[in-house]
Amino acid sequence: MNWITRERPKIDRIACPWLIKRFIDKNAVFFYVPFDQVIDIASELDAIPFDVPGVELTHQKDQCTFDALIKKYKLTDPALQIMAPIVRGADTDQHHLSSQCSGLWAIAAGMAHNIKDDQELLEAGKIIYDALYTWAKHLQDVKHTESPVEQLLVDVYQKFLKKGKTGKIPAWATELKTIIQDQIDTNLALSLTGISQELNVNPAYVSRAFSKYFDNLSFGEYIRKLRIDKAIAFIETNNYALSEISYLTGFSDQSHFTRIFKLETGKTPSEYKKSTTKGKIRSKS
């Protein structure tokens, strides 16, 4: 089916073609034409017009065309329900509807400024909406500090550094930034900015003293344990692929994840996942 709308899209006229192609009409072909020619050319091409005044699929009250498509075609995917206010808010300058609205608007406006060909802009925009859909479906609860290393830092900061003068701060905690930066291949500068001003001890002492406070484990062993504990939680409570769990728990690749997981648990991630699934099935029977 042919679909047609106004030229020079930014938000709705990129989000809607993405929605149509993904959930309504896989063979859709889109045309962007001057505003005053949409209806005439729609008749010539036997195309469905959208996001122009006077047609069925357009803005209604405070709703945008993305909303109209979801309603007309009865799309019930929960991720689309999460995306709808983001698209609506970005498209209608109601950025209070979602914390993601202003970010989507900024990205869309920048892309429209940089890419002058509407079809090229549509193809680039599809990547943005694919990513937003994946976030809405799988990653809403994942935070930048989800990695065990960063979460460890947060825990340490809350338990020790925020005590201030009311309690004795363990010496190793004040050099945690150095230890992390030396041993973990990631950039934690943003997470450490506020804490770094309080650090001032010998890292060698921190390395020696670490095990006293964390289950007789070295720093590296404790980080590895946190990663595997997090992976087990993902396996038991989510439907993520093992490759996704590998990424979410800070491993550089799946083979490294598999090797470390087996060292810690005695099973590969796939074996653990199968045993967990079998246990659930037995518990239901």
pLDDT at 219 over 90: no
User: Do residues 7 and 97 both lie within one domain?
Assistant: yes
Same domain (yes/no): 6, 126? yes
The pLDDT score that the predictor gives to residue 32 is 98
Task: Tell me the pTM.
Answer: 0.55
HEC string for the chain: CEEEEECCCCCHHHHHHHHHHHHHCCCCEEEEECHHHHHHHHHHHCEEEECCCCCCECCECCECHHHHHHHHCCCCCHHHHHHHHHHHHHHCCCHHHCCCHHHHHHHHHHHHHHCCCHHHHHHHHHHHHHHHHHHHHHHCCCCHHHCHHHHHHHHHHHHCHHHHHHCCCCHHHHHHHHHHHHHCCCCCHHHHHHHHCCCCCCHHHHHHHHHHHCCCCCHHHHHHHHHHHHHHHHHHHCCCCHHHHHHHCCCCCHHHHHHHHHHHHCCCHHHHHHHHHHHHHHHHC
Residues 71-120 have pLDDT tens digits of 999 999 999 999 999 999 999 999 999 989 999 999 999 999 999 999 99
The reported pLDDT for the residue numbered 43 is 96
CATH of the domain at 238: 1.10.10.60
Task: Tell me which of 105 and 169 has the higher pLDDT.
Answer: 105
pLDDT for position 193: 36
Boundaries of domain holding 194: 145-213
Query: Do 43 and 88 reside in the same domain of the chain?
Result: yes
Mean pLDDT of the residues in the chain: 79
Are 266 and 243 in a shared domain?
yes
For residues 124 and 149, state if they share a domain. Answer: no
Residue 40: pLDDT over 90:
yes
pLDDT (0 to 100) of residue 89: 94
Q: How confident is the model at residue 218 (pLDDT cuts 50, 70, 90)?
A: low
Digit-coded pLDDT (tens) for 221-262: 776 787 788 889 888 887 888 888 887 777 767 888 888 899
